Amino acid sequence: MGIRSRAGSGFSTPAGWRDRKFEGTGGALKRIALVLLLLCSTLGSAPSPALSEDYSQKRSRMVDLQLENRDIRDVRVLAAMRRVPRHEFVLAEFRDQAYEDRALPIIESQTISQPYIVALMTQSAALRPTDRVLEVGTGSGYQAAVLGELAAEVYSIEIVEPLAESAAGLLERLGYSNVQVRYGDGYQGWEEHAPFDAILITAAAPRLPRLLVEQLKVGGRMVVPIDNEYGHQDLVRYTKTEDGLEHDIITGVQFVPMTGEIRK
User: Which member of 67, 150, 159, 179 binds ligand SAH (CB under 6 A)?
Assistant: 159
Which range of residues in 25-33, 134-142, 220-228, 237-245 is near ligand SAH by CB under 6 A? 134-142
Nearer to ligand SAH, 110 or 123 (CB): 110
Which residues, numbered 23-52, are part of the site for ligand SAH (CB under 6 A)? none
Q: Are 89 and 219 in contact (CB under 8 A)?
A: no
**Distance between CA atoms of residues 204 and 78, nearest Å:** 25
| Residue of 127, 134, 141 lying closest to 219 (CA atoms) | 127
Nearer to ligand SAH, 142 or 238 (CB): 142
Exactly one of 5, 56, 60, 113 is catalytic; which is it? 113
Residue 226, phi then psi, degrees to nearest 5: -125, 135
Min dist CB 139 to ligand SAH, Å, is 3
Strands (E), the chain: 104-105, 111-112, 132-136, 153-158, 179-183, 196-201, 216-227, 233-241, 244-253
Which range of residues in 11-19, 23-31, 91-99, 151-159 is near ligand SAH by CB under 6 A? 151-159
Which range of residues in 54-62, 211-219, 222-230, 254-262 is near ligand SAH by CB under 6 A? 254-262
Which residues, numbered 163-222, are part of the site for ligand SAH (CB under 6 A)? 163, 185-187, 202-203
User: Which member of 66, 140, 178, 180 binds ligand SAH (CB under 6 A)?
Assistant: 140
H-type helices in 70-221, by residue range? 75-83, 115-124, 142-150, 161-173, 210-214
**Residue 157 near ligand SAH by CB under 6 A:** yes
Contacts 24+ apart (CB under 8 A), 20-23: none
Nearer to ligand SAH, 139 or 220 (CB): 139
Nearer to ligand SAH, 56 or 143 (CB): 143
Question: Using the 8-state DSSP alphabet, how is residue 125 labeled?
Answer: T
Q: Are 121 and 177 in contact (CB under 8 A)?
A: no
Does residue 60 carry a catalytic annotation? no
Instruction: Please report, in angstroms and rounded to a whole number, the separation of the first and last CA atoms in the chain.
Output: 23
Nearer to ligand SAH, 74 or 134 (CB): 134
**Residue 134 near ligand SAH by CB under 6 A:** no
Which residues, numbered 99-128, are part of the site for ligand SAH (CB under 6 A)? 110-113
DSSP string, 143-185: HHHHHHHHSSEEEEEESSHHHHHHHHHHHHHTT-TTEEEEES-
Q: Among all residues, which ones are annotated catalytic?
A: 113
Return residues touching ligand SAH (CB under 6 A): 110-113, 136-137, 139-140, 142-143, 157-160, 163, 185-187, 202-203, 256, 258-260
